[in-house]
Structures are given as structure tokens and as C-alpha cells.
Structure 1
Amino acid sequence: MYYLAKFAVLIYFKIMYKLHFEGKENIPTDTTVIYACNHRSNADPPLLGCGARGRFAFMAKEELFRNKLFAWLIRSLGAFPVARGKGDTGVIDTAVERLGSGRSLMIFPEGTRSKDGKVGKGHTGAALIAVKADKPIIPVGICYGEKLKFRTPLTVKFGRPIDPEEYCEISDTPNPRQLVKLKNRYMADIKLLVEGEPEASDDTKEDKADE
């Protein structure tokens, strides 16, 4: 049922949008991973899931689990509830458990949808989970124009994996400053995937011309 549903969703998105995937070769095949992705619409989780390898899990706000039928559906697709704004520390342990049980994890580190399409500063949750679980982070960019409309060109870009051990000592109690460094790395990679290389200033262009 899981893979049948995933295939049906992929066909739907292929019909609705001009959907392409880039960088899927960057996804490791020998381990579960954490997909850290920008957030623009409610379509982001299934869009990311269509390109992700294997089974995955994702956090969903607890309000979505109030309807028993819908709760059963999203649980079967890997969702687990999180109480936003209540300091729900148990969700970190749940995320680590899911990674250890063979499911990769989808996280949208900005914490809310972007209204202008630009990538925000993000939070350290993905970094904390990566360090606790000792799993790589795959930065992901969902890219399209101002609005998602019928037959909009849409590309899901998967970046190169980030080894958390390059930034943090693998531990149950990681250093907060190290977590920020790791967070800054994957947010910079996400921004690069979504927005591309920043344009050089006029002064920089003149300096290069002088060289």
C-alpha cells in the first residue's frame, strides 16, 4: 500500500506540474538520512517523498491527528505528531527511533512556510537529530516560480550529504554552538539549491575585470 500510494501521488504531480528531480544520485543507498528542505506549500511533504528513497517519516502538527481516519492515513505514510510551541522534546527521541528503524526523516527547518519563496534562517532541530542518530543530512530545494499552478515547472533538487561529525561530536548532549554551525551549513546549502549563486556586486565585478 505504501509504495502504491507513493506511485499514485507521483503520477498526480507529474500531471499537475512539470515535475523534475535533480541530484537523486546524492542520496546514500546504505543508510537512512535526514532530508532538510525549504518550505513553501502544503504540497512539500508529498513532493519530497516522491523523490526520496525508500520509506520515510515526517513530523506533523498534532491537530492533524484529531480526525481518526485522516490520522490513520498519515500515520501509515510515516507521520508522527508534534506539539508546536510546547517544547515537545519527546519528538526528538521519536525521530531518532524512526531513523534507526529504517525510515528516513523529512524536516522543514524553517518551521513555517515562506511567503516570498526565499529561504529563512532555520532551526537546529535537524542538526540535533542528525548528531543523536549519527545520520547524514541531505539538503533539498523545492524550486518553482511565485505560485504553484497547473503545469508550473517544478524541480526538487537534492544536494550532497552532510556528515554531522564534521561539525559536531556525536553525542546525546551535543554542543549548542556546534549545532548552530551545522545548521548554518545545511541552511546555506538549501538556499544555494533554491536561489542559486548570489550575484556579484559591481565592485566585485570590477575587481575581477582588473585581474
Structure 2
Amino acid sequence: MNLYKIAKTVVSFIVYPLYRIRVIGKKNVPKTGPVIICSNHISNLDPPVVGITSPRDIYFMAKGELFEKPFLGKLLTGIHAFPVKRGMGDRNALRKGLKILENGNTLGLFPEGSRSKTGELGEPLAGAGFFALRSNAAIVPCAIIGPYKPGKKLTVIYGEPMNMEAYRAAKKSAKETAEAIMTEIKILMDHYHSQHASLDK
């Protein structure tokens, strides 16, 4: 068993019961081929939660400074993380992300770039749109509905893949495409919010 699978098993054992995680729409994540999972970002725990609820192994970007510590750097690499400098202008990270997709793997992105302290969706960076337009990946919107409180229910919803052909044909910019992805995430959040609230009573 590799490090990724070990970490996924351990984290699942702890986090699933702690936050009473419910997953909806897992079947919407294609079983094969390149995939980009785009989620809202409300906690530092979002990457591991998406990682354990997704049926596919996911590659995530992580702050470059974290890789400067030898042990931590090796650990992050072992669980499929790769470094990115602040912002989405890091060409090495962009190339790495595209290569991951070219190899038929799954890339996990948080279009907002940073956590939302209020739980409301923020403005997306252009990065998610860049990867969506420059690859042939299926774009799967994902919504995490919290809060992250022990004993409270956490819902993770995977929406149906978005078709990017229309965006390419219309020559949409990376920013416009990222905004469209965020709109799909918001639709998921709005649709399941009341259902989630009723389950947690």
C-alpha cells in the first residue's frame, strides 16, 4: 500500500465519524480520464476531505514554503501534493498541473485561492479557468457544506461534469471560465443547503 492510500485510510477513519460526513454525487466523478475537481474553500481541512470523499486519487497544489522542510516536503509529495508559489502565476506549477491532466489523473483546485472566513463564495482566480480551457479534463464542481464542528454533519456534493467546448468555441477567458465554474458550485450549495440544515437538526 502506498503512502497516499495509507494517508487516505487513516484520515477517513478519523474524519468521517468526527464530522459525520455525507457524500452526494460521487458517481458524477468520471472513473477514467483527466478530471479537475473544483471546490469551494471554507477550511484548511477541505483538501483532505475532498481527498477522502473522491473516488479518484487527487493531486493538490500546496504552498511552496511547505516543501522547504525536508520531511514535510517528502510527505506532501507522497500524498500527491506539488508546490505552487503565491498566486496562480507560477509557470512551473501550471506546467505540472497540465502534465498531471495529460497523464489522465485528477487535479483538485479551489478556484477562490484562499479560504472564505464567512462561508460565502469569494471571487475566483483565473487558474481554474486556465486548466479547464487548456486541458481535455472533465470539470466536476464540488460543494462542501459545513460547518467543521465535531458532531455536526458535513456534506460534500459532486455535481455533473461541465462541458467546456462551448467556452472554448466562444473564446471565453480563463477568468470568465473560472466564474462559470464558481456559478456551478454556488448552484450546488444553494440546492443542498436547506437539505443539509434539516439533516443536522
Q: TM-score, normalised by structure 2?
A: 0.88
Residue 199 of structure 2: aligned partner: none
Amino acid at match of 2:8: K
> For structure 2, which runs of at least 5 residues remain unmatched after alignment?
194-201
Asked if the contact 2:31/2:56 (under 8 Å) is kept, the reply is no
Write the deviation string for residues 7-48 of structure 1: whole angstroms up to 9, x where unpaired. 221111122111110011111112120011000111000000
Q: Residues 2-151 of structure 1: matches in 2 within 5 Å?
A: 2-85=4-87, 87-145=89-147, 148-151=148-151
Mapped to 1, the partners of 2:13 and 2:98 lie a distance apart of 31
User: CA, structure 1 residues 91+18, in 2 after alignment: closer, same or farther (shift >3 Å)?
Assistant: same
Mapped to 1, the partners of 2:126 and 2:164 lie a distance apart of 12
Write the deviation string for residues 73-106 of structure 1: whole angstroms up to 9, x where unpaired. 1111111101114831221111010112242000
Q: Residues 142-181 of structure 1: matches in 2 within 5 Å?
A: 142-145=144-147, 148-169=148-169, 175=171, 177-181=172-176
Work out whether 1:190 is the aligned partner of 2:185: yes
Mapped to 1, the partners of 2:50 and 2:164 lie a distance apart of 21
Structure of greater Rg: 1
Mapped to 2, the partners of 1:38 and 1:85 lie a distance apart of 17
User: Pairwise CA RMSD of aligned residues?
Assistant: 2.0
Mapped to 1, the partners of 2:20 and 2:59 lie a distance apart of 26
Q: TM-score, normalised by structure 1?
A: 0.84
* SS of residue in 2 equivalent to 1:194: helix
Offset, 1:197: 8.2
Write the deviation string for residues 115-141 of structure 1: whole angstroms up to 9, x where unpaired. 110111212211211221211111001
Asked if the contact 1:55/1:104 (under 8 Å) is kept, the reply is yes
* SS of residue in 2 equivalent to 1:36: strand
Mapped to 2, the partners of 1:89 and 1:43 lie a distance apart of 26
Identity %: 34
